[in-house]
Amino acid sequence: MIKLIGAVLVLFAGTMIGFAQAARFAERPKQIRSLLHALQRLETEIGYGQTPLPDALHRMSLAIPPPLSAMFAGIAAELRSGSGSTVGEVWEKALTAGWASTSMRAGEKEAMLRLGATLGGSGKEDQLKHVRLAELQLQSEEATAREEQQRYEKLCRSLGVLGAALVVILMV
């Protein structure tokens, strides 16, 4: 009876691990898409609304789901506080602190860090060019993420179940 309960628990745990990893593959394209929508909103705020950067980032944070919203809200709050830090420093600190809570990878982070280094330090047209460049880079990363999702999502689920089944067989 104890072996049966143990076998069921191992099978359940292995399956859940596989499903959790598959969920990370599914979440990455969604988060990149949210980030793209946020950048499009930022582009509109800068280009047409001529909104100050802290206000634009705050509005952007309201339009996207967590954990991305927390990063941009933190950037906006820090810029509003008048701490004396540059936009690039605040941007890098917030992205570095909050990036681990996302499903995104280094390519997306690099594109966002490059964008943060240029925001607030030049004219409107130059900033818009950098936002558009970041959007193009993120679109490329999204296509890669979708391919990886199609390739590895089902594989992770299957490996979770099969790995747990192997452990159960070895236990018996």
Name the token pair of 144. Answer: 């890669």
pLDDT category, 172, cuts 50, 70, 90? Answer: confident
* Residue of 35 and 124 predicted with greater confidence: 35
Instruction: Look at residue 1 and tell me whether its pLDDT is greater than 90.
Output: no
Predicted pLDDT of residue 121: 77
Name the token pair of 158. Answer: 């299957």
pLDDT tens, position by position, 76-114: 999 898 877 888 999 999 999 999 999 899 999 999 999
pLDDT category, 69, cuts 50, 70, 90? Answer: very high
* Residue of 8 and 82 predicted with greater confidence: 8
pLDDT category, 134, cuts 50, 70, 90? Answer: very high
Predicted pLDDT of residue 53: 87
pTM of the model: 0.84
Instruction: Look at residue 71 and tell me whether its pLDDT is greater than 80.
Output: yes
Predicted pLDDT of residue 77: 92
Write the DSSP assignment of 54-68 as a string of letters. HHHHHHHHHHS-TTH
Most distant CA pair in the chain, distance: 72
Rounded alpha-carbon distances, angstroms, from residue 114 to 15, 84, 95: 39, 20, 11
Instruction: Look at residue 18 and tell me whether its pLDDT is greater than 90.
Output: yes
pLDDT mean across residues, the chain: 91
pLDDT category, 171, cuts 50, 70, 90? Answer: confident
**Helices H, strands E: what count in the chain?**
6, 0
Predicted pLDDT of residue 29: 96
Instruction: Look at residue 122 and tell me whether its pLDDT is greater than 80.
Output: no
Tell me if 94 sits within 8 A of 67, measured CB to CB.
no
Tell me if 29 sits within 8 A of 140, measured CB to CB.
no
